[in-house]
C-alpha cells in the first residue's frame, strides 16, 4: 500500500518531523528498488534509483511507455554532474552555474562506463538539478535518480501530489506531498551533444535567456 507524507515547508516542528519521516522513507524505498513521487519546482516526478535497471523498467511500466522515451536523471548537487558525463564542457559549466538549481535540463554525452539502463539514450543523458528543497534533500540521500513526469504517458502532467496519485496509484510506494509546483510547466531542454547547442523543448527557462548566457543564437 502506498504511503503519503506531507512535506510542506511551513517551519512548524511537527511538519519538519513529518517531512523528515517522508524523505527517509522515500530514500529507503529508492534503495529497495521501488518507485517514489516527489515534488520539483516544475512538475511532480516519479523516480527511482538511476542505477537499478529493474526499477527503471517499473517506472516506464507505471507510466505506460517504452524505452524509446528514455528517463532523465535528477541530481542533488553541481558536483555530481562531472561523474555522469563524458565531457563536462565549458558551455555545460556555464549553464549549470547560471541555471541550477532550476528548470533547465541539459542533454550531454554520458560517461561510457556507467552501469545504468535509462532506455534508448544513444549514449546521452538528460540531467537536471531541481529547485525544490524536498527534492534536493531526497537526492542528497539517494544519489542520482531516474525521474520522469508523474503521469501516465499522454495524460496531463501532475502539478500536485493528488494529481500524481490519481494517475499512478499503487504503482508508487511513497508519495511526498510538497504542495503545488511553483512553475507548473516542464523544464526547458537544451542539447549539448553537438557543437551547436539546440533547444529541444522550451519551458521554464526562456530560450532567449539561454542565448544571452551562452552568447550564441539558439
**pLDDT of 13 higher than 90:** no
Domain that holds residue 164: 3-214
Consecutive H or E run containing 186: none
What pLDDT, in 10s, does the model give residues 155-195?
999 999 999 999 999 999 999 999 999 999 999 999 999 99
CATH of the domain at 19: 3.90.870.10
Start-to-end C-alpha separation, the chain: 46
- Tell me the C-alpha distance between 52 and 57, whole Å: 9
- Tell me the C-alpha distance between 146 and 58, whole Å: 11
- Tell me the C-alpha distance between 194 and 181, whole Å: 32
What pLDDT, in 10s, does the model give residues 112-155?
989 899 999 899 999 999 999 999 999 999 999 999 999 999 99
Number of domains in the chain: 1
State the pTM of this model. Answer: 0.95
Predicted confidence at residue 81, as pLDDT, reads: 95
CB atoms within 10 A of CB 151: 23
Q: Using an 8 Å Cβ cutoff, are 178 and 8 in contact?
A: yes
**pLDDT of 62 higher than 70:** yes
Amino acid at each position: 500500500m502506498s504511503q503519503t507524507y506531507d512535506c510542506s515547508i511551513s517551519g512548524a516542528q511537527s511538519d519538519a518531523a513529518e517531512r523528515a519521516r517522508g524523505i527517509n522513507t522515500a530514500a529507503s524505498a529508492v534503495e529497495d528498488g521501488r518507485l517514489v513521487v516527489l515534488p520539483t519546482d516544475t512538475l511532480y516526478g516519479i523516480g527511482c534509483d538511476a542505477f537499478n535497471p529493474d526499477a527503471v523498467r517499473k517506472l516506464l511500466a507505471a507510466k505506460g511507455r517504452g524505452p524509446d522515451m528514455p528517463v532523465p536523471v535528477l541530481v542533488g548537487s553541481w558536483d555530481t554532474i562531472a561523474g555522469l558525463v563524458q565531457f563536462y564542457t565549458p558551455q555545460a559549466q556555464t549553464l549549470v552555474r547560471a541555471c541550477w538549481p532550476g528548470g533547465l535540463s541539459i542533454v550531454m554525452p554520458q560517461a561510457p562506463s556507467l552501469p545504468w539502463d535509462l532506455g534508448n539514450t544513444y549514449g546521452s543523458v538528460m540531467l537536471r538539478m531541481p529547485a525544490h528543497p524536498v527534492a534536493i534533500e531526497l537526492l542528497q540521500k539517494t544519489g542520482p535518480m531516474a525521474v520522469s513526469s508523474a503521469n501516465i504517458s499522454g495524460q496531463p502532467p501532475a502539478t500536485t501530489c493528488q494529481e500524481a496519485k490519481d494517475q499512478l496509484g499503487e504503482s508508487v510506494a511513497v508519495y511526498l506531498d510538497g504542495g503545488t509546483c511553483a512553475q507548473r510547466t516542464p523544464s526547458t531542454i537544451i542539447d549539448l551533444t553537438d557543437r551547436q547547442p539546440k533547444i529541444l523543448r522550451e519551458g521554464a527557462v526562456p530560450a532567449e535567456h539561454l542565448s544571452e548566457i551562452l552568447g550564441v543564437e539558439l
